Amino acid sequence: MSAEHRKHHRFPYSSNAVVTYKGERCECVVLNISASGAAFKSAWRPDVGVSVEIRFNGKIPVKGQVARHMDEGFAVTSVWDLKSINNE
């Protein structure tokens, strides 16, 4: 999907996140984030369509769904409050 077709603008987000699926946890690098999803750099790739739990900077976990795999990792879709993810 090209940037001009995205519903929400994506922002760089230099941080790690812990993504959990069925008890398997992986620390991933967050490539970018928007109001409707995020992209993660990771060799680990949960199956497309599965629900995952994401913990940004040790914050309260949020839910997401794996939308696609990319060369460098995977992307999830979700609806979250970017302020709550970003605030300490």
Is 87 a member of any domain? no
* 85 domain-assigned: no
* Bridge partners, 49 (sequence order): none
Beta strand ranges found along the chain (DSSP E): 11-21, 24-34, 37-41, 51-56, 62-70, 73-77
Residue 32: inside a domain: yes
* Predicted pLDDT at 8: 57
pLDDT (tens digit per residue) in 13-44: 778 999 999 999 999 999 998 888 999 999 99
Domain that holds residue 49: 3-79
Structurally, the chain folds into a number of domains equal to 1
What does the mean pLDDT of the chain come to?
Answer: 83
Q: What percent of the chain has pLDDT over 70?
A: 78
Q: Provide the CATH number for the domain around residue 30.
A: 2.40.10.220
Torsion of CA 68, 31, 5, 44, to 10 degrees: 0
Lowest mean pLDDT among 26-30, 53-57, 58-62: 58-62
